[in-house]
């Protein structure tokens, strides 16, 4: 039998109107009354009718996730994390894929916000790192949270969840250096992604810290895709002085580099080490499994959704900060090194010729 608002009101000993005010998070309800109602909601496992709530008033109980990313694993992790935060707070999720390079993308965003009832937006790269897109969002006067690389320029830090790509890339490159590698190729992701520049900066910094000269010929432009990894690896490995290790900007590219090495009959990791970034399923589906940096996309998404919902509920600054702390909303993440079988000693080190 479906639990109704009448059942909640009866259990809490309050009116139906009071239950509605509590569910809608109206500020005028006394804390003791709110606790009684929420205890009843939890005890009865009451699920409000979100569609009816949206239609009944001016408040929205839906947030939108806007993305353009070819990596399906990344998108699924983001969706699941945001959805988990929405369910915990009685909100719905609107998923809106779009083309970041479309000439109509700004108009598309305006139509989404104006014609759909949206409480807030969660933005991922490249949208979250494109200033013109952020300017459009700000002009729409809608709550939003950006998931960005820590290399991104910020004028709205309170609206951001940051990922320290540079520090993680430093750790990955240092791992290869400790294995004796000195010629380390780097396959860049798309230039429109700030994460690409952050990961490249970490690679450069690690080499400089170790006193290893940077060979610009080992750094290739590319895209966050399998095919780009294949082509980039072939270019590096067919050169007159090929690298002993390749650092690909994400796991999909690293899987492509591994495929290219297989086609060229190069043993991994005995003759060549290959590492990726993000710890997506690609890193665990290859053979050998990829050394990478674990990026907790599900948790990042969950924190981004919790933050935008905190803003959408209209809390004051002090109350919002307290709520964020209580909810465990983390604002900064650094992916952590995961060592697997695709990285090993440089060939010279392995044969005692270092």
What would the two tokens of residue 120 be? 């807030």
Taken as a whole, the chain contains a residue count of 354
Alpha carbon distance 108, 318 (integer Å): 34
What does the pLDDT read at residue 26? 63
Q: Which candidate, 29, 103, 22, 97, places its Cα nearest to that of 66?
A: 97
Low-confidence residues of the chain: pLDDT under 70:
1, 23-28, 47-60, 70, 313-328, 349-354
Q: Given this model, what pLDDT does residue 41 score?
A: 81
| Interatomic CA distance for residues 284 and 286, integer angstroms | 6
**Residue with the two structure tokens 């991994």:** 268
> What percent of the chain clears pLDDT 90, i.e. is strictly above it?
51
In the chain, where are the structural domains located?
Answer: 5-48, 58-163+296-333, 165-295+337-350
CATH class of the structural domain 58-163+296-333: alpha beta
**Pairing state of beta strands 219-220 and 273-275?**
unpaired
CATH class of 5-48: mainly alpha
Considering the entire predicted model, what is its pTM?
Answer: 0.77
C-alpha to C-alpha distance for 304 and 21, rounded to whole angstroms: 26
Same fold, 58-163+296-333 and 165-295+337-350: yes
The CATH architecture that domain 165-295+337-350 belongs to is: 3-Layer(aba) Sandwich (3.40)
């Amino acid at each position: 039998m479906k639990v109704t608002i009448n059942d909640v009101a009866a259990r809490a000993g309050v009116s139906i109107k009071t239950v509605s005010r509590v569910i809608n998070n109206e500020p005028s309800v006394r804390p003791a009354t709110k606790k009684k109602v929420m205890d009843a909601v939890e005890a009865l496992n009451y699920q409000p009718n979100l569609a009816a709530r949206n239609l009944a008033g001016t408040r929205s109980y839906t947030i939108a996730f806007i993305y353009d990313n070819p990596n399906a694993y990344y998108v699924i992790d983001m969706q699941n994390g945001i959805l988990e935060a929405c369910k915990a707070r009685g909100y719905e999720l609107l998923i809106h894929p779009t083309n970041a390079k479309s000439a109509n993308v700004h108009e598309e965003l305006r139509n989404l916000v104006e014609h759909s009832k949206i409480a807030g937006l969660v933005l991922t790269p490249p949208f979250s790192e494109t200033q013109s897109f952020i300017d459009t969002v700000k002009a729409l006067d809608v709550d939003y949270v950006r998931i960005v690389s820590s290399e991104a320029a910020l004028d709205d830090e309170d609206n951001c969840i940051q990922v320290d790509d540079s520090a993680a890339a430093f750790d990955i490159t240092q791992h290869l250096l400790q294995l004796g590698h000195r010629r380390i190729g780097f396959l860049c992701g798309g230039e429109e992604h700030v994460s690409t520049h952050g990961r490249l900066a970490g690679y450069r910094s690690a080499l400089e810290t170790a006193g290893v000269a940077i060979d610009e010929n080992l750094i290739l432009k590319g895209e966050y895709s399998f095919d780009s990894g294949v082509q980039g690896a072939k270019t590096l490995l067919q050169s007159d002085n090929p690298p002993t290790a390749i650092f690909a900007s994400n796991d999909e590219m690293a899987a492509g580099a591994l495929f290219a090495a297989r086609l060229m009959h190069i043993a991994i990791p005995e003759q060549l080490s290959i590492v990726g970034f993000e710890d997506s399923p690609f890193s665990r589906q290859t053979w050998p499994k990829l050394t990478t940096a674990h990026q907790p996309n599900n948790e990042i998404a969950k924190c981004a959704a919790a933050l935008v919902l905190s803003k959408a509920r209209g809390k004051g600054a002090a109350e919002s900060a307290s709520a964020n702390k209580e909810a465990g909303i983390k604002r900064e993440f650094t992916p952590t090194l995961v060592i697997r079988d695709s990285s090993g000693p440089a060939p010279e080190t392995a044969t005692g010729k270092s």
